[in-house]
Amino acid sequence: MKARLFQPFQIGLWLALGLSAWLSEIHQSLSSLINAPLQFLDLEQHFSDIHTWIASLPILWVGTGIFLAIVLIVVGYYIAARGKFMLIHQLARNTTDVGVPWKDNGSESLSYFLWTLMIGSGVTLLFGMVIAILVGITVASTHGSASVAGLTAVTITVAVLMALLFLLFYLVWLVVTDLIRPVMWIHQCSFPEGWQTLWPCLKAEPGTVFLYALTRVGIQIGFSMAIMVGGLLT
């Protein structure tokens, strides 16, 4: 890897890798853009009729906005899936070509996108249900109780369980998304076929996989904390 990137240094390769890396994370940029506060001109002063018409149909506009946001995010995730396979292709082949990996890995990217979308939606739904159950247990356990110690114990227990559950889901998600892509690219296979190939390796080296996932989590937490500290210091 070091030899490919620096010996010799090739600006074209770096630009191609940068494009693929940006595409592979474009869904996060789109999500941030949608969540960011929007700044509009003073339409009420110049377009009072349009403003009145928009205000008279709030449900329609809110529904349309939510639908467009969902479509934009889904499209962003699909483009990100294509970009991830482009990046693997460029690094493995030491090439600056963009069109070939975009064209050749279309079926693998689509399979990866659809399966990760379904898995992510299922995990999110399951996580939400478990949180609702834990919150319900907390409320039921502390209802009418005047014991501060009991309330504190139940709250801490539920918080720890939620944190462990989130960590478990996150580790599973990292394994599914990070390790399956190279297997799919090497074997030019779909997500289920790649999982059948990957599963024996996961069973053979569970400690290595778990250590990798923990390292990824630790790096992300450390990076986030560094950004927070930097923001506070400035």
Query: For 59-115, how does the pLDDT look when each residue is reduced to its tens digit (9 = 90+)?
Result: 777 677 778 888 888 888 888 888 888 888 888 887 777 777 788 888 888 999 998
Which pLDDT value is given to residue 40?
45
- Tell me the whole-structure pTM to 2 decimals: 0.64
Query: For 14-30, how does the pLDDT look when each residue is reduced to its tens digit (9 = 90+)?
Result: 566 666 665 666 555 55
Q: What is the DSSP string of 163-225?
A: HHHHHHHHHHHHIIIIIHHHHHHHHT--HHHHHHHHHHHHHH-HHHHHHHHHHHHHHHHHHHH
Average pLDDT, the chain: 74
- Give whole-number Cα distances, 38 to 34, 35, 61, in Å: 8, 9, 15
- Give whole-number Cα distances, 221 to 31, 43, 218, in Å: 20, 42, 5
Q: What angle do CA 93, 96, 98 make, to 5 degrees?
A: 100
Query: For 206-232, how does the pLDDT look when each residue is reduced to its tens digit (9 = 90+)?
Result: 888 888 877 877 887 888 788 888 777
Tokens linked to 212: 């990798």
Rounded to an integer, what distance in angstroms lies between the CA atom of residue 83 and that of residue 14? 15
